[in-house]
Structure 1
Amino acid sequence: MKKIGLIVLAAFIGGVAAIGAYKLFERHDDGFTIADKQNMMFAKNPIISSSTGAPDFVQAAAAVSPAVVHIKTTYAAKSGSGGRDMGDIFEQFFGFGGGMQRVPRQPQAASGSGVILTSDGYIATNNHVVDGADKIEVILSNRRKVTAKVIGKDSNTDLALIKIDVSGLPFIKMGNSDNVQVGEWVLAVGFPLDLQTTVTAGIVSAKARNIGILNRENGQMTQEEYEEYQRTGKLPSRTNNSIESFIQTDAAINPGNSGGALVNANGELIGINAAIASQTGRNEGYGFAIPVNLAKKILEDFRKYGSVKRGYIGVSFKPLDADVAEELKTKEIAGLYVSDVVPNGGAEAAGIKSGDIIKKVNGADIYDSPDLQEKIGRMSPGDKVNLTVLKADGSLKNVSVTLKPESTMSDLAKNKDKAAGTSVSAVGASFAPATDSQKARYRIRNGVYVTEVAPGKLFDNLGIKKGLIITSINGKEVNSAADIEKAMPSGKNERITISGVSEGGTFTFSFN
C-alpha cells in the first residue's frame, strides 16, 4: 500500500508540474508551436501513444466531445451572377443533386464542425466550411457562442485554422496518423445534420485514398471566371496542387460533420473529417478524413504565416498499374512514372529525367500519388527529400531533392506553358497539352487545349473555336501538337472526326 501511495503521489506531483509549466508558457507562448503546446500539456497524460486501443469508446468519447465545436457561418445575399454559394460547395463535398440555382436571396447560413487544438482558441476545420463566409460563429460545449476569425485556409488540402479569443478551453491530443491501421476502430465526432454533439463508430476502411474531390473543386470555374470565358474565350490559368491522401472510414459521417474529429480508441486525433462518397448526400458508409500528420504542418503554417508554405519536387507523373505500364511499354507496375520534369526545378537538379520511375520516398514504397504527395505536403521549401528512382537502364538510384517554393515553381510553370503553345500550320491553330486540373474537371485522361485559331484556316472553317479541348482525331488519342499533326489524314478528301470536351459538354465534328 505504501508503494502504491508513493506512485500515486509521484503521478500527482508530475501532473501538477506539467500543468503548471503549461500555464506558465501559455502566458508567454509566442515562440511555441501548436505541437509544443500539445506536448507540454500531455507530457504526463496517461493516454497510450499507440494508434490502436480497446474497443470501448466511453472514455475516448468523453475526452474528445468537449473539444469538438459547432461552427455556424453566414453568407451575405448575392445577386444571380455572383460567386459560389453554399449549395455549390456542399453539393461538391456531399453529393447533393437537384436544382441548385443562383438567385437573389436573403443572407443564408450553413454549419459544420471544428476541433479545438489549443486552450487559447486555435480551432481546425475544413476550408469548405468557412470559405467565403461573412461571419463565423463557434458554439462551445457549454453552449457559449463566440465569433471566430480565419487565420488561414487552403483549398488544396481543404483545411482551415480559425481562432476565438477564449482561454482555458478543452482540447484534443493530436495522434500519429502514420500508425493508423486498416481495420482498427475509430470514432467520428461532430455536429451532423444540425444535431448536437454526435459520436459514431466504425473502422478504418483504407488509407491514402484519392477520390478526386479536391481536383474537381479546384478545377471548376467560378461564375466570374465563366462569364470572363464567355466574353474572351480564354480559360482561366490555374495550377492544381491538390493533395488527397484521405483516411477512409465507415463511421457515419454526414453534412455538418465537416471539420470534425476522427479519433482512435485512445481519444487521439488522427484525422479531420472532410467528405463522403454518396449518391444521396447522406452517409452510405464511405467517409473520408484528412490525416492529422498532414494537417499538423498545414495548420502550423497558417498560425505562423497565414498561408501554406509548400515545397515542390518539380515533376509531373503518372501512377503505374498494369494498364498504364502496358501503355508506357514498361514492365514496372508500381511507382510513379515521371512524364515531365520542370526546368530548373529540384528534380532536374537531382538528375531525375522523364521516363524515370520513383519507387520510394524517404525509404517508404510508393504505389500511388497520395503516397508521395502527402509526405511532400508535410515538408517546406528548402527541405530535402530522399527518393529512390528506377532509371531507364534498370538501375536503382538514391537521390536527394531540395524542394522549391511555390513562387519559383509558378514562374517556371508559366514559362513552360508559354513554350507549350505549339502551332500546327496545316490546320491553322496552336495547342497546349491539357492541364491536370482541366483533365480532372472534365474527367478526361488526355487532351489538347486549343490556344489560338487562325481566321480562314482549316480549324476555323470547321468551326473549332479557341478554348475547346480535343481528345481524339479519327479515333486516335491526342496529347500534344505533334499528336494532332500525326492524326490528321494525309489525303484531301479523307473523313475527319474530331472529338473533345467544352463548357457545353462533349462534342464531335465530322467532315469529309
Structure 2
Amino acid sequence: MKKFASLLLVSILGGVISIGAYKFFSDSPEKVEQASVFEQPTLLPTNFVNNPTKTSNAANAGIDFTVAAEKTIHAVVHVKNKITTVAPRSIWDLYNGTGRPQTQIGTGSGVIITPDGHIVTNNHVIKGSNEIQVTLNNNKNYIAKLIGTDPSMDIALLKIEADEELPYISFGDSDNAKIGEWVLAVGNPFNLTSTVTAGIISAKGRDLNEGDNLSQSFIQTDAAVNPGNSGGALVNTDGELIGINTAITSQTGSYIGYSFAVPSNIAQKIVSDLLEYGDVQRGLLGVSGGSLNSVVAEKLGTEETQGFYVSKVFTDSGAEKAGIKAGDVIKKLDDVKVSKFSDLSGYLSSKRPGDVVNVTVLREGNYKKIPVELKKEKVRASVNLMNMKLENLNKEDAKKFDINYGLKVVDNKNKQLFYDLGITPGYVLVEVNGNKVKSAKALQEFIDSYGEDKVKILAFINPKGQYERFIFR
C-alpha cells in the first residue's frame, strides 16, 4: 500500500513537472519575440546624398512643373543687339571730331506674347542698339523691329515677321500671385535652347531704389536668374506669364538667391499703351508723400506704421477734386493693400488716365473710401539747352529721319553753335554724351540733375539726314 502511494505521488509530481515544462517552452518564446519587437531601436538616416528614392518637396506636394515648362519654353527667345558707335581712336580723330565705328554685342532673353510675333524684353537688353536679332527655340533667326520702350520700368516691345503662327505665353494676373507660390523662370541666355529654373515668390512690391524710381514695384523670387536671362518669363504652374525677369541683387554679378521681375499687369499695360498710343500713358493720382514706418510715424504723431502718408495734394489733380487731404494715410487702392510706397506706385503703373481707383484712406481714426479719377501726366514739349530751343519730334520728322527719338532744333541763339558749327533750326539732336535723347522731359531731367556744364558731346542729324558729332572741351 505504501509502495502504491509512493508511485502515485511520483506520478503526480511528474505530471506537474511535465505540464510546467510544456507551458515554459510553449509560452516563453512568444513573450521573448514580442519583447524583441518593441525594444528594437529605430534607425533614422541622417545623410540623404545619392538616395534614389528621395524626391523634392514640390514633388511630394504633388506639384508638376512639366506642363508649365512645355507651355513656355518654345515662347522664350534669345535676343542679341548690335551697338555701333563712332569714337575717336587717335588725337587727330579727337581734334577733327571724327572716329571709326566700333561694334558691341549684348544679349538677353525675350517672351513672345502674340502669335504674330510681338516680343517683350527688357529695355536694358536692347538699349542703344542699331540692330536687334531674335533667335527662336527652333534656331530660326529674325531681325526685330523696336516698337517702343518704357525705360522707367525697363520694358521694351519688339516685333518680328514670321511666316507662321508662333508659340506664345498668355498674360496672367500678377495681383493674384501669392507669396510662397511656386514659379518658373524661363530664359534663353546662351542662344542654345530655353532653360528653366524653379523657385517661389519671396516677396511682392519690392523697390530696389527705395522710392527713387516712382514706378518700381518688383516681384522677388528665389528662382535662379543669371545675366542673359534678363527679359525672360516668370510663369506660374499653369504656364501663365506673371512677370518679366529683370534684375538680380548680387555682389558677384551672378545669382545668389534674389531675382526680380516686372509684374505682368504692369508689363501688359505698357505693351497695350505702346501698341495703341505709341508711348506709355501714366495715370496720376496727384499726391506726394512717403511710406510709413515706426520712425516716420513717431515724427508724424500717428500710431500707423503701414501705408502711404499723404504730405501734399497737387492742385487740379484727381486726388484734390475727390477730396483727399494732406495727413491722410492711404491703406488700399481698390482691393490691393498699400503697406509701402511701392505698393501704391506699382498698382498705379497698371492704370491709365481716366481710370477710377477706389482709394481707402485713414483720416482721424476713420476709414473712408474715396473714388479718384486718374489724370494724364503732362508731357513736356520743349527744353532749352545751351541757348537752343528743342522740341519733341512730330510724326513727320520721325518718319523723315526714320528714328523714334531725338529733339528738333527750332531756335538757336548760341552764336558759336549757330555760326561756327552751323547748327541751325531743322537739326535733330539725337545724343548727349553718347546717350540717346528720348524726350524733352528726359533731357530736362539730365540738365536738372547734372547741369549743362556736364554736356561734353552732342550728336545731331542734319537736315540732309547726315550724322554730325561735336566734342566740347
Q: Same fold (TM over 0.5)?
A: yes
1:261 paired to 2:233: yes
1:377 corresponds to = 349
1:183 corresponds to = 180
Letter of the aligned partner of 1:154 in structure 2?
A: D
Q: Is the 8 A contact 2:145 2:158 kept in 1?
A: yes
Alignment TM-score, normalising by the size of structure 1 = 0.58
Instruction: For residues 168-224 of structure 1, give each alpha carbon's deviation from its aligned partner in whole angstroms, at most 9, with x where no partner exists.
Output: 101112222122222222111112356542111111111111112894xxxxxxxxx
For 1:246 and 1:104, the matched residues in 2 are separated by: 40
Q: 1:320 aligns with which of 289, 292, 301?
A: 292
Q: Is the 8 A contact 1:336 1:367 kept in 2?
A: yes
For 1:119 and 1:213, the matched residues in 2 are separated by: 38
1:43 corresponds to = none
Secondary structure of the residue aligned to 1:373 is: helix
For 2:191 and 2:222, the matched residues in 1 are separated by: 20
For 2:251 and 2:292, the matched residues in 1 are separated by: 29
Query: Mapping of 1:210-289 within 5 angstroms?
Result: 210-212=207-209, 215=212, 242-289=214-261
Secondary structure of the residue aligned to 1:65 is: helix
1:135 paired to 2:134: no
Q: Which moved more, 1:382-391 or 1:68-77?
A: 382-391
Query: Mapping of 1:25-64 within 5 angstroms?
Result: 54-64=62-72
Secondary structure of the residue aligned to 1:77 is: strand
Q: 1:344 aligns with which of 316, 324, 328?
A: 316
Instruction: For residues 396-431 of structure 1, give each alpha carbon's deviation from its aligned partner in whole angstroms, at most 9, with x where no partner exists.
Output: 3221111110117x69xxxxxxxxxxxxxxxxxxxx
Q: Is the 8 A contact 1:126 1:159 kept in 2?
A: yes
Instruction: For residues 441-493 of structure 1, give each alpha carbon's deviation from its aligned partner in whole angstroms, at most 9, with x where no partner exists.
Output: xxxxxxxxxx9xxxxxxxxxxxxxx99xxxxxxxxxxxxxxxxxxxxxxxxxx
Shift of 1:124: 0.8
Q: Is the 8 A contact 1:192 1:253 kept in 2?
A: no
Question: Per the alignment, do residues 364 and 261 of structure 1 end up closer, same or farther by CA in structure 2, a change over 3 Å counting?
Answer: closer
1:65 paired to 2:37: no
For 1:149 and 1:257, the matched residues in 2 are separated by: 21
Query: Mapping of 1:39-118 within 5 angstroms?
Result: 54-79=62-87, 106-118=102-114
Q: 2:147 aligns with which of 142, 146, 151?
A: 151
Alignment TM-score, normalising by the size of structure 2 = 0.63
Q: Is the 8 A contact 1:363 1:387 kept in 2?
A: no
Question: Per the alignment, do residues 213 and 387 of structure 1 end up closer, same or farther by CA in structure 2, a change over 3 Å counting?
Answer: closer
Secondary structure of the residue aligned to 1:309 is: coil
Secondary structure of the residue aligned to 2:345 is: helix
Letter of the aligned partner of 1:385 in structure 2?
A: V
1:395 paired to 2:366: yes
For 1:387 and 1:214, the matched residues in 2 are separated by: 20
Q: Is the 8 A contact 1:157 1:214 kept in 2?
A: no
Shift of 1:296: 1.3
Secondary structure of the residue aligned to 2:73 is: helix
2:417 corresponds to = none
Shift of 1:256: 0.8
For 2:66 and 2:197, the matched residues in 1 are separated by: 12
Q: Percent identity?
A: 50
Shift of 1:105: 6.9
Secondary structure of the residue aligned to 1:244 is: coil
For 1:152 and 1:261, the matched residues in 2 are separated by: 19
Secondary structure of the residue aligned to 1:76 is: strand
For 2:107 and 2:300, the matched residues in 1 are separated by: 47
Instruction: For residues 323-361 of structure 1, give each alpha carbon's deviation from its aligned partner in whole angstroms, at most 9, with x where no partner exists.
Output: 111122222111111122211111111122222211221
For 2:324 and 2:70, the matched residues in 1 are separated by: 51
Q: Is the 8 A contact 1:158 1:214 kept in 2?
A: no
2:276 corresponds to = 304
Question: Per the alignment, do residues 206 and 104 of structure 1 end up closer, same or farther by CA in structure 2, a change over 3 Å counting?
Answer: farther
1:119 corresponds to = 115
For 1:120 and 1:191, the matched residues in 2 are separated by: 20
Instruction: For residues 57-113 of structure 1, give each alpha carbon's deviation from its aligned partner in whole angstroms, at most 9, with x where no partner exists.
Output: 2222122111000000000124379xxxxxxxxxxxxxxxxxxxxx98720010111
Q: Is the 8 A contact 2:294 2:305 kept in 1?
A: yes
Q: Is the 8 A contact 1:189 1:257 kept in 2?
A: yes
Q: Is the 8 A contact 1:173 1:269 kept in 2?
A: yes
Structure showing greater radius of gyration is: 2
2:18 corresponds to = none
Gaps of 5+ in 2: 1-60, 90-98, 382-447, 453-473
1:329 paired to 2:301: yes
1:405 corresponds to = 376
Q: Is the 8 A contact 1:75 1:109 kept in 2?
A: yes
Q: How many residues align?
A: 316
Report 1 or 2 for greater relative contact order, CA contacts < 8 Å, sequence distance ≥ 6: 1
For 1:120 and 1:332, the matched residues in 2 are separated by: 50
Letter of the aligned partner of 1:67 in structure 2?
A: A
Q: Is the 8 A contact 1:193 1:254 kept in 2?
A: no
For 2:177 and 2:367, the matched residues in 1 are separated by: 30
